[in-house]
Amino acid sequence: MKQVFEAVKLTERVYWVGAIDWNVRDFHGYSTNRGTTYNAYLVLADRVTLIDTVKAPFREELVARISSVIDPGKIEYIVSNHSEMDHSGCLPEMIELIEPRKVFASTMGVEALADHFHDGLDVAEVKDGDRIDLGDMTITVLETRMLHWPDSMVSYLEEERLLFSQDGFGMHLASSERFDDELPLPLLEHEAKKYYANILLPFSRQVLKVLDRLAEAKLEFEIIAPDHGPIWRKSQGRILELYREWAEQKREKKAVIVYDTMWGSTEKMARAIADGLTSGGASVKVMKLRAAHRSDIATEILDAGALVVGSPTINNNIFPTVADILVYLKGLKPAGLIGAAFGSYGWSGESVKQIEELLGGMKVEIAGEALRTKYVPDKEMLETCRSSGLAIAKKLS
């Protein structure tokens, strides 16, 4: 292993020593169709420090990358910014291997690590604003509770003006390139948006507070080094700007139509509504639930103004895939959406009312008429669907 994996230099004394997971396609329900990385960093201060570790199966890759720079036994400190197992999975084994003088985590991180590993890890607590003296370098810790776990914190390496931002500003993207300026910016913006929409959206208020705090502290970031995906050394300003936009949930004249269908009737309605929306000047995404993953739908909704949901009625209920997406989106707590429901049925036809109730539970303002078709929509019904799309587009203006 030592001969295969090498560390990547960020600055004269900071190295990336993480792992690339080319093949992961499902990250606890999030579709990672481009894989991911688990980033860990080595700081060659007087007291050599490891920032985070990697998911357990990638421990050998981490050890090999560290070994390409320094004997792992020389590491004195480990800082655990986040205890989710993609970053702490091999922490106990790394502690056993390295025998560091100290392991640091936030107050909640100490608890979370104990609850994960149950083996009496000796972890020292650091609080918001605490400074960790590395001898000739200093780390300042900023707690970022609920971004996106209670334990989450970030570490600022003052001498290098480098922010180790754990999940924040990250993305699921496996690549041989380690830095943002080596990859196309639109790709990075898309994957960062997907990450925000699926992981951080429910905590947008806390994101705004952290952004304000970082701005007030007038910290300048030469580098933002997240725990997933490329390291920002060129477009740091852009990702900070995008985070503010996403956290403010700025919405465009855009609608997302999400639906499933059994014999194509609900689909015909979806297409007619989409045409009306387009005629009204809205940008539209039509996403059939058995063709689009829930995490891609959430990504499209991040900047959309309207969510239009269609389902046939099956056994007095909405279609199971429609239930899935609505439960998922409810948990993400998107704010400021308008919406509408539509669907076909054979005899009982409960689905549209059920969708409206679920949208209401998500605080989506119902802005279009409930559209129900018995069996197959006729021309008149499709005209009505189209008009409804037009009306929703007008409300989006």
Residues making contact with ligand FEO (CB under 6 A)? 82, 84, 86-87, 148, 167, 227-228
Q: Whole-number minimum distance, CB 111 to ligand FEO, in Å?
A: 16
CA distance 265 to 286: 15
28 in catalytic set: yes
**From the centroid of its chain, how far is CA 264?**
33
**318 beta partners:** 313
* Structure tokens given for 233: 């050394």
Q: Which is nearer to ligand FEO, 86 or 296 (CB)?
A: 86
Q: Whole-number minimum distance, CB 191 to ligand FEO, in Å?
A: 14
Q: Who contacts 273 (Cβ-Cβ below 8 Å, separation ≥6)?
A: 257, 308, 310, 340, 342, 371, 385, 386, 388, 389, 392
* Structure tokens given for 70: 């320094």
Residue type, 30: Y
Q: Which is nearer to ligand FEO, 160 or 227 (CB)?
A: 227
Residue number of the CB atom closest to ligand FEO = 84
Q: Which is nearer to ligand FEO, 61 or 84 (CB)?
A: 84
Out of 228, 267, 296, 345, pick the active-site residue: 228
151 in catalytic set: no
293 in catalytic set: no
CA distance 300 to 207: 20
Out of 82, 172, 191, 260, pick the active-site residue: 82
Q: Whole-number minimum distance, CB 39 to ligand FEO, in Å?
A: 9
Helical (H) or strand (E) element with 243: helix 236-247
Out of 30, 195, 196, 259, pick the active-site residue: 195
118 in catalytic set: no
Q: Whole-number minimum distance, CB 12 to ligand FEO, in Å?
A: 27
Q: Who contacts 95 (Cβ-Cβ below 8 Å, separation ≥6)?
A: 78, 103, 121
Q: Which is nearer to ligand FEO, 47 or 193 (CB)?
A: 193
Q: Whole-number minimum distance, CB 5 to ligand FEO, in Å?
A: 20
Q: Which is nearer to ligand FEO, 166 or 261 (CB)?
A: 166
Cβ pair 328, 298 in contact under 8 A: yes
190 in catalytic set: no
Cβ pair 269, 303 in contact under 8 A: no
CA distance 59 to 43: 18
Length of the chain: 397
Out of 21, 86, 143, 300, pick the active-site residue: 86
Q: Which is nearer to ligand FEO, 166 or 313 (CB)?
A: 166
Q: Whole-number minimum distance, CB 35 to ligand FEO, in Å?
A: 14
Query: At how many degrees (to 10) do helices 91-98 and 59-67 cross?
Result: 40
φ/ψ of 298, rounded to 5, equals -60, -35
Q: Which residues are catalytic?
A: 28, 82, 84, 86, 148, 167, 195, 228
